[in-house]
Amino acid sequence: MLVTLNEVLPGAREGRYAVPAFDTREDVIVRAILETAEAERSPVIMMTLEYDVQGNGLVYLPGLIRAVADHHDIPVVLHLDHCWHEELVYACIDRGYSSVMFDGSKLSFDENARITGRIVKRAHPKGITVEAELGFVGGATLDGKERAESVLTDPRDVRKFVELTEVDALAVSIGTAHGVYKSEPKLNIERLKEINEISPVPLVLHGGSGTPDDQVRDAIRNGISKLNLYADVRIAMGRGFQEAAGKIDRPDPLPDVLFQPIKDAISQVVRQKIHLTGSNGRAPGGGPADETPPTRAAGRVG
């Protein structure tokens, strides 16, 4: 069922678990994520990057996810991730996304708040939630080039930003980076605690791939309600592709034989992340998970 961030993140914050959020692109990735999440009775956030919705991607990818969301009886959020262009955010709102993110983290505080606030005013009347970012999560771009160094979120900015913009979720920078790590990160959990005490809205951790499990769990215990993941899925996809290539024994391989190792590898990673975040069993009707109760039933969008 298609829902917004407001149907999954407040319960996660209260229950001290996180909802896994996966950037996705092709049918085999979408299917692997959704079928695994349903098997684990986990809510899930399906994300597309600005890179993925260029040209026909804006039609194909959200169209696919919206078409299959109601087939799965778990909460599914269709979310635009890391969009730097305001007009593209509006295009995604018009295409039926249930949630969007404007990334103004490179802008000044005032400009970030001004644009984010405009987007909220466009999204909220349509029942669409909005995520923003304060601080800056650096790392590598999708083409492997290095971005600028991360800048930690200043707790003093958080309440003012949320009040000015009325965003529904806030991505914070506490020491993660995008892409594949060159050295082990060290999350600033004390900074996260300060931010969580102040923030009126659930917090998001970007750059979750490759972050050591113990640090991820510590971050979730101290306020992270949404964990963004992509590089780990791509690594699994590459591993599955290599396995599939080794099994080709005919010039016209059947698609199911070719794609199955890729799907299996992605599913394995998705399952591990679901258990890492503690979201397994949290979907309505999923029964108890670990030590905290499941969230309330999620509402539909559209």
Residue 97 CA from chain centroid, whole number: 13
Tell me what pLDDT residue 181 has: 41
Give the H/E segment covering residue 79: strand 76-83
Across the range 250-267, mean pLDDT stands at 93
**Residue 282 domain flag:** no
**Residue 291 domain flag:** no
Residue 5 CA from chain centroid, whole number: 10
**Residue 80 domain flag:** yes
pLDDT of 53 > 60? The answer is: yes
8 and 275 Cβ atoms separated by less than 8 Å: no
- The larger pLDDT score, comparing residue 238 to residue 147, is at 238
Share of the chain above pLDDT 70, in %: 86
**Residue 73 domain flag:** yes
The CATH number given to whatever domain includes residue 110 is: 3.20.20.70
- The larger pLDDT score, comparing residue 31 to residue 293, is at 31
CA-wise closest residue to 177 among 206, 204, 154, 218 = 206
**Residue 22 domain flag:** yes
Counting the structural domains of the chain, the total is 1
How far is the CA of 125 from the CAs of 44, 62, 98, 130, 218, in angstroms? 24, 20, 12, 12, 36
132 and 116 Cβ atoms separated by less than 8 Å: yes
Tell me what pLDDT residue 182 has: 47
pLDDT of 141 > 90? The answer is: no
Q: How confident is the model over 201-236, as pLDDT tens digits? A: 999 999 888 889 999 999 999 999 999 999 999 999
Across the range 107-116, mean pLDDT stands at 96
**Residue 21 domain flag:** yes
Catalytic residues: 81
Across the range 109-123, mean pLDDT stands at 98
**Residue 244 domain flag:** yes
SS3 state at 130: strand
Confidence category of residue 71, pLDDT binned at 50, 70, 90? very high
How far is the CA of 237 from the CAs of 26, 47, 274, 287, in angstroms? 11, 17, 17, 31
- The larger pLDDT score, comparing residue 302 to residue 52, is at 52
Domain around 166:
2-277
Q: Token pair 């306020």 is at which residue?
A: 223
If phi > 0 it is left, if psi is from -120 to 50 it is alpha, else beta; for residue 164 that is alpha
**Residue 164 domain flag:** yes
Average pLDDT across the chain, whole number:
88
Confidence category of residue 296, pLDDT binned at 50, 70, 90? very low
How many CA atoms within 13 Å lie on the side-chain side of 291? 2
